[in-house]
């Protein structure tokens, strides 16, 4: 006799519908929506470009050979150096590992700890970024990329390789600007008591290729709303926030001073490791213009951080203002060179690099 607790067989009936036709309609609608969004974002100034992901950075980190020339640091070393010109002048095509808003130290430490590497490092130094304290966005940004290069899975590598041809042809695949989260950050939310809204980053103004060579788009190089918008955002980003109210000012300043001193000591150790294997390094201060230069000169004068960095590490530095042929460049949005100027700047920089590196 069958058990009273046994369940009866259930069969879900599939409705008789024109599934093939429905599938075709859905596919057409998806493609139409994607095409409309693509046309719209192109109409407002976006273009196809690779996204500056940690996976793309890790891909280039794997390209570093024992004797490579490597560019590290912030976005000025990223935008202002032309790989082709440097290859002509230095004899090797550099590997581009600089990044927007990044601190050079985590990458410098990673290369210094790599026993295989005994090559040459060109390090861009923006003091506010280079001496960023632990836990700050510049340190987190660089540290995250370094960690990804050591922990990246095969699935993540495959995803990056598959993404490249799509990003090179689709303008709407711009994750820094066109995601819901990024678009919400554009809402004009005012500061509130005990809740300051952090400054937004700059909008799309440059392209990135497979070697991570960044170039300013022409629309940003010309006077207009985009250029002005980016200039004002740099001023907000480079202005330090007020000290936290829950920490005594003296204690906060002491903590920041210790973090700065630790960065000096850690950099000295990294440079010593690199030199012990025959490696070379040069620090470069790239052009900065307008009100942003005035602000940087005020907040981090040369005598405060740049000169002690050179003295304590024994590394040769190239400061753009010291050479008329380098100081004559003007950054359109105050922080980076235009695509054309970056090529000419690289040509003029090469003799100074060769002298500093004793090539």
Pick 202 or 5 by higher pLDDT.
202
User: Are residue 126 and residue 261 in the same domain, yes or no?
Assistant: yes
Pick 239 or 32 by higher pLDDT.
32
pLDDT at residue 194, rounded to an integer? 63
Q: What percent of the chain has pLDDT over 70?
A: 93
4 domain residue, yes or no:
no
- Residue linked to tokens 């590394």: 315
Q: Per-residue confidence at 336, pLDDT binned at 50, 70, 90?
A: very high
195 domain residue, yes or no:
no
Q: Quick one: which of 44, 79, 100, 78 has its CA closest to 332? A: 79
Pick 195 or 162 by higher pLDDT.
162
- Indicate whether 240 pLDDT > 70: yes
pLDDT at residue 94, rounded to an integer? 97
Mean pLDDT of 116-139: 94
pLDDT at residue 246, rounded to an integer? 77
156 domain residue, yes or no:
yes
pLDDT digits (tens, 9 = 90+) for 67-107: 999 999 999 999 999 999 999 999 999 999 999 999 999 99
- If one counts the domains in the chain, the total is 2
Q: Per-residue confidence at 359, pLDDT binned at 50, 70, 90?
A: confident
197 domain residue, yes or no:
no
Residue range of the domain that includes 324: 47-180+205-357
- Indicate whether 312 pLDDT > 70: yes
**Pair of tokens at residue 79:** 């935008």
pLDDT digits (tens, 9 = 90+) for 168-198: 999 888 877 777 777 776 677 676 666 666 6
139 domain residue, yes or no:
yes
User: Are residue 53 and residue 37 in the same domain, yes or no?
Assistant: no
Q: Look at strands 214-216 and 206-208 and give their pairing.
A: antiparallel
Interacting residues of 167 by C-beta distance below 8 A, sequence separation 6+: 48, 49, 50, 51, 173
| Cα 2 to chain centroid, rounded | 69
Quote the CA–CA distance of 22 and 258 in Å, as a whole number. Answer: 65
User: Are residue 112 and residue 39 in the same domain, yes or no?
Assistant: no
The answer to whether the CB of 348 falls within 8 A of the CB of 300 is no
Pick 193 or 109 by higher pLDDT.
109
241 domain residue, yes or no:
yes
pLDDT at residue 243, rounded to an integer? 77
User: Are residue 133 and residue 32 in the same domain, yes or no?
Assistant: no
Mean pLDDT of 195-221: 87
Q: Per-residue confidence at 37, pLDDT binned at 50, 70, 90?
A: confident
> Element (H or E) spanning 207, and its range?
strand 206-208
Mean pLDDT of 268-285: 96
pLDDT at residue 141, rounded to an integer? 94
292 domain residue, yes or no:
yes
**Residues forming a β-bridge with 114:** none
Quote the CA–CA distance of 332 and 99 in Å, as a whole number. Answer: 19
349 domain residue, yes or no:
yes
pLDDT at residue 1, rounded to an integer? 47
- Indicate whether 130 pLDDT > 60: yes
Q: Give the DSSP letter of residue 195.
A: B
User: What's the chain's average pLDDT?
Assistant: 90
Q: At what angle do helices 306-313 and 249-276 cross, to 10 degrees?
A: 40
- Indicate whether 61 pLDDT > 60: yes
Got the DSSP string for 225-273? HHHHHHHHHHHHHHSPPPPPTTS-HHHHHHHHHHHHHHHHHHHHHHHHH
Q: Give the DSSP letter of residue 179.
A: S
């Amino acid at each position: 006799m069958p058990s009273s607790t046994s369940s009866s067989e259930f069969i879900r009936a599939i409705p008789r519908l024109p599934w093939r036709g429905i599938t075709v309609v859905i596919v057409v609608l998806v493609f139409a929506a994607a095409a409309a969004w693509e046309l719209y974002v192109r109409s407002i100034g976006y273009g196809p470009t690779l996204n500056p992901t940690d996976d793309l950075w890790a891909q280039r980190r794997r390209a570093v050979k024992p004797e490579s020339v490597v560019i590290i640091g912030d976005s000025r070393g990223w935008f202002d150096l032309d790989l082709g010109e440097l290859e002509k002048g230095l004899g090797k095509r550099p590997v581009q590992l600089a990044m927007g808003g990044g601190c050079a130290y985590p990458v410098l430490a990673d290369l210094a700890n790599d026993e295989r590497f005994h090559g040459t490092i060109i390090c861009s130094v923006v003091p506010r970024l280079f001496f960023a304290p632990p836990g700050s966005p510049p340190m987190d940004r660089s540290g995250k990329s370094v960690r990804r290069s050591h922990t990246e899975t095969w699935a993540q590598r495959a995803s990056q390789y598959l993404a490249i041809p799509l990003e090179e042809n689709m303008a709407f695949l711009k994750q820094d600007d066109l995601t819901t989260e990024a678009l919400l950050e554009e809402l004009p939310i005012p500061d509130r008591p005990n809740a300051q809204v952090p400054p937004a980053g700059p909008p799309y103004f440059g392209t990135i290729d497979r070697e991570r060579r960044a170039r300013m788009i022409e629309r940003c190089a010309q006077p207009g709303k985009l250029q002005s918008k980016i200039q004002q955002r740099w001023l907000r980003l480079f202005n330090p926030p007020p000290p936290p109210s829950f920490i005594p000012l003296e204690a906060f300043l002491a903590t920041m001073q210790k973090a700065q001193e630790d960065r000096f000591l850690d950099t000295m150790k990294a440079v010593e490791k690199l030199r012990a294997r025959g490696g070379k390094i040069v620090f470069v201060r790239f052009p900065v213009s307008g009100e942003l230069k005035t602000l940087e000169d005020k907040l981090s004068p040369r005598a405060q951080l740049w000169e002690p960095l050179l003295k304590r590490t024994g590394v040769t530095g190239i400061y753009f203002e010291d050479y008329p042929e380098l100081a004559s460049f003007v950054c359109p949005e105050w922080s980076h060179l235009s695509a054309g100027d970056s090529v000419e700047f690289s040509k003029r920089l090469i003799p100074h690099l060769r002298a500093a590196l004793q090539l």
